[in-house]
Structures are given as C-alpha cells and as structure tokens.
C-alpha cells in the first residue's frame, strides 16, 4: 500500500522530476508534489511523495544530503483543517 511522505528542507532548485528519481530508487513512486507559495509561485522548501516502499525510503533518505541540504523525510501527517482558509491573517 502506498504511503504519503513529507519531504522537508528541499533546495529551492529541486524539481519534481529530480525528487521522483531519488525516491524511485527505493520503491514505486505514485506522485510527487513540491509545494509553492500561492502569491509568488516560488517553492516553499518542502513537498510530498506518495510511494510503495515508503519505510525503506525513510530509512535511506532521512538526513541524506540532496542538493546541498540534509533532507527531512517522514510519514506525512493528516492536514489539520482547524483554521479558516479565507482569513488572510492566518
């Protein structure tokens, strides 16, 4: 069963293809999504990878140097939806 992983501390130059290639070494990648800022469109330095073999990927890639930065890789937690989405102050 595929698991969704949080991948943090990404270089701002990291592409979804590069991330897919890195994680594909450890299992079948279903999807890759690098999060961008809504206003500027620039990467925010984190993303999500959904894949088979997630436990092996976490063990192999957490704290691994990628693009000059040590990645943070762990199982993604469900999104907290306790804040209003239309309030610009949040």
pTM attached to this predicted model: 0.85
Q: Report the pLDDT averaged over residues 6-25.
A: 97
Mean pLDDT throughout 67-87? 83
- How does pLDDT run across 75-84, given as a tens digit for each residue? 999 877 666 6
List the structure tokens of 33. 């999504």
More confident position, 87 or 40: 40
State residue 69's pLDDT score: 96
Average pLDDT for the chain:
92
Let me know: does 46 contact 37? Beta carbons within 8 Å. Answer: no
The CA-based dihedral angle spanning residues 47, 52, 58, 59, taken in that order and rounded to the nearest 10 degrees: -160
The pLDDT value given to residue 78: 85
């Amino acid at each position: 069963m595929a698991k969704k992983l949080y991948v943090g501390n990404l270089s701002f130059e990291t592409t979804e293809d590069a991330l897919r290639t890195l994680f594909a070494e450890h299992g079948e990648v279903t999807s890759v999504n690098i999060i961008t800022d809504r206003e500027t469109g620039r990467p925010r330095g984190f993303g999500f990878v959904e894949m088979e073999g997630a436990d092996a990927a976490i063990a192999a890639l957490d704290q691994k140097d990628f693009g000059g930065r040590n990645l943070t890789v762990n199982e993604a937690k469900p999104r907290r939806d306790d804040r209003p989405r239309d309030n610009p102050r949040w």
